[in-house]
Amino acid sequence: MEAVYEWARVLYQDTGINLTFIYDSYDRNRLIDGFLMTVWLSVICLGLSVAIGVVGAWAQGARSAILRRCVAGYIEFFRNTPPLVQLYFFYFALGSIMPTTTNRFGLPEPLLDNFAWAVISLSFFAGAFNVEIFRSGIEAVPESTKEAAEALGYTRLQTYLEIVLPLAFRVCLPSLNNNLVNLVKTTTLAYAIAVPEMLYQANQIWSDSVNVPEMMTFLLIAYVFLVGVLVWGMHRWERSMRLPGFGS
Amino acid sequence: MTSPDPTWTPDQPIIQCRDVHKSFGQLEVLKGISMDLMKGDVVCVIGPSGSGKSTFIRCINALTPMDSGSIKVEGQEVNDPRLDKLALRRKVGMVFQQYNLFPHKTALENVMMAPIKVLKEDKRQVEERARALIRKVRLEGKEDSYPGELSGGQQQRVAIARSLAMRPDVMLFDEVTAALDPETVKEVLVTIRQLAEEGMTCILVTHEMGFAREVAGHIYFTDRGVIVEHGPPATFFTEAKDPRTKEFLSQIL
C-alpha cells in the first residue's frame, strides 16, 4: 500500500494531479467513510423503497376507496415534485415541527437527524415509482391464475404473497432495476442536508486541497463502479429467477 | 360462517342446485338452473357457447357469486354472504380450460402447494401424496419440470393432480380439453375417465360428445341459461325431443 501512496505523492509533484485521498490518510478515511455512507444509505433506501412499493401496490388493489386514493395521492405528490424539494421539505419543514429530545449535554436535539430524513425522503421518493412498477407487474399476472389459487382455497393475501408477487416480481425486475439505479444516484442529494455521503466528503476534500477536477473524476468513477455492482447483481438475480417457458 | 352441514348424509344429494340465477349487467346468463347430483355421479353439461355452462359450474364453488337461488354442497349453502369459502373449496376441486398452473413452481410443487399453504398439512406426507398423484396422471419423471416445459396435455394433467391433492369430494371440469391439441386430448380424457371409474363425483362442461357419451351417467343440455333437456346418454343422443337439442346435436355429431 505504501508504494501506492508514494506513487500518488510523486504524481502530484511531477504533474500537479493531486490525489490527496490516496496519500493523505485523513482524506482517505473521510472518503472511505463517505463511500460507506453512500452504500449504507443506498442499501437502506433500496430495501425501504421496495417494501413501500410492495405494500403500496397491495393497497392500490384494496377494496377501500379511501386507501386507494391515499396511495394515488402519495404517488402524485412524489412523482410530480423534484426530489431535492422533497428532501428540503422533509428536513426543514417537517423537521422543524417535529418534537425535540434533550441530549446528554442538556441541549435540544431533533428527534430525527439528517440521515434519518434523507432515508425517509429518498425511500418515499423511489417507493412512489416502485408502487407503479409493481402494479404493472401485478396487472400482468393473469386473472385466471389468481382464480386457480382461489379455487384451491387460497385467501386474497395468500394468493398475493404466494402467486401474484413472485410472478409480478419477474415481470417488473427490468423496470425495478432502472428505478433502483436512479435511487443510488439520487442519494447524492443527501449532500444538500449535510449527510456525510460520498459527494459531501469529496466536497470537503476539494475545499481543503483545491483539487476539484481530481475529486470530480473520482466521484464519477466511484458511481460507475457502485451502479455497475448493483446492475450486475440485479441481472444475476433476473437470470436466476427466469423460468423456462415463462414470459419470454 | 356456514360450515359443513352436520345433518347431511351421503344418501342425500352431494350437490343440490335450485333455481340458480345469474346476470352480468343486463345479460341474464343463468335463468333458473336446477340439478341434483348423488355421490359418484358423473354428469356432462353440454350446449352452445355462451349458454351459461361455465358460469353455472363456477357458481358451484363460488368463483362466480350467484344472484339468487340455492346451491348446496354436502348440505352447505353456497349462496350465503357468510360462506366459509375454504370449507367449500376443500370439497370442490376445479380444473380450468387454460390449466392455470403456477408458472413459477415445478409440477410437483404445484401439486404440493395448496395442501401445505391452505390446509397446513405436513410437508412430507403431502409430498408422498403428490408424487403418487403425479404417477396417477402418468407424469412420472416430470416432477421437477416447470409448466412452461410441459405440453398442454401434461399441464392439464398436473392441474388435475393439483386439484386432487386437496382430496375433494367433487371435481368440476370446465372445458378442460378445449385448449388442447387433438393428440393430447386423449391423455387428459383417460385421466378423467379413470377418476370417474374410481367413483369421483364429476361435473364436466365439455364439447367432447364421444367422451360425454362414454363416461357420463347423465347429460344436461343447456341453451340461453336454461337446461333444455337432460337424460342418460343412451337415450339423450338418439331420442332428443326438444328442437334446440336436435339442432345442436345435428351440428356437432
Chain segment B11-33, per-residue pLDDT in tens: 889 999 999 999 999 999 999 99
Q: Is residue B34 part of a domain?
A: yes
Question: How many structural domains are present in chain B?
Answer: 1
pLDDT at B249: 87
Helix (H) or strand (E) holding B221: strand B218-223
Its domain, for residue B86, covers: 15-252
B152-169 average pLDDT score: 94
Asked if the Cβ–Cβ distance from B103 to A154 is below 8 Å, we say no
Its domain, for residue A215, covers: 2-241
Question: How many structural domains are present in chain A?
Answer: 1
Q: Is residue B24 part of a domain?
A: yes
Q: Is residue B208 part of a domain?
A: yes
Nearest CA in chain B to A148: B100
Task: Report the alpha-carbon distance of residue B100 to residue A60 in Å, rounded.
Answer: 24
Q: Is residue B49 part of a domain?
A: yes
Q: How many CB atoms lie within 10 A of CB B249?
A: 16
Asked if the Cβ–Cβ distance from A246 to B101 is below 8 Å, we say no
Q: Is residue B227 part of a domain?
A: yes
Q: Which of B68, B26, B31, B71 is nearest to B51 (CA)?
A: B31
* Type of residue at A193: I
Q: Is residue A247 part of a domain?
A: no
Chain segment B218-244, per-residue pLDDT in tens: 999 999 999 999 999 988 888 888 888
Nearest CA in chain A to B87: A153
> In a 10 Å sphere around its CB, with 0-12 CB exposed, 13-18 middle and 19+ buried, how is residue A4 labelled?
exposed
| Blockwise average pLDDT, block size 10, chain A, 248 residues | 90 91 92 95 95 92 90 94 94 87 81 91 96 92 93 91 91 91 94 93 93 94 95 91 73
Q: Which long-range contacts (CB under 8 A, 24 or more apart) does A112-119 make?
A: A114/A190, A114/A193, A114/A194, A114/A195, A115/A41, A115/A190, A115/A195, A117/A87, A117/A90, A117/A91, A117/A193, A118/A41, A118/A87, A118/A91, A118/A187, A118/A189, A118/A190, A118/A193, A118/A195, A119/A41, A119/A44, A119/A45, A119/A48
**β-bridge pairing B42-46 and B201-205:** parallel
Q: Is residue B4 part of a domain?
A: no
User: What is the CA angle A219-A222-A228, rounded to 5?
Assistant: 135
Q: How many CB atoms lie within 10 A of CB A89?
A: 15
Q: Is residue B60 part of a domain?
A: yes
Q: Is residue A6 part of a domain?
A: yes
Helix (H) or strand (E) holding A10: helix A2-15
Q: How confident is the model at residue B252 (pLDDT cuts 50, 70, 90)?
A: confident
pLDDT at B251: 84
Asked if the Cβ–Cβ distance from B93 to A151 is below 8 Å, we say yes
b/e map A199-224, b = 16+ CB within 10 Å:
bbbbebbbeebebeebbeebbeebbe
Residue B100: give its domain's CATH number: 3.40.50.300
Tell whether pTM > 0.90.
no
Residue A16: give its domain's CATH number: 1.10.3720.10
Instruction: Say if B180 is an interface residue toward chain A (CB within 8 Å).
Output: no
**Helix, strand or coil for residue A163?**
helix
Task: Report the alpha-carbon distance of residue A184 to residue B73 in Å, rounded.
Answer: 56
Task: Report the alpha-carbon distance of residue B137 to residue A122 in Å, rounded.
Answer: 52
Q: Residue A238 has which C-alpha cell?
A: 433476473
Q: Is the pLDDT of residue B253 over 80?
A: no
Nearest CA in chain B to A167: B104
Beta-bridge mates of residue B18: B70
Q: Is the pLDDT of residue B1 over 60?
A: no
Task: Report the alpha-carbon distance of residue B229 to residue B248 in Å, rounded.
Answer: 12
Q: Is residue B1 part of a domain?
A: no
Selected for mutation to probe chain B from A143, A152, A160 (highest B CB count within 10 Å) is A152
Q: Is residue A91 part of a domain?
A: yes
B79-92 average pLDDT score: 91
Interface of B with A in 73-132 (CB under 8 A): 85-86, 89-90, 93-94, 96, 98, 100-104, 113-114, 117-119
Q: How confident is the model at residue B4 (pLDDT cuts 50, 70, 90)?
A: low
Asked if the Cβ–Cβ distance from A162 to B117 is below 8 Å, we say yes
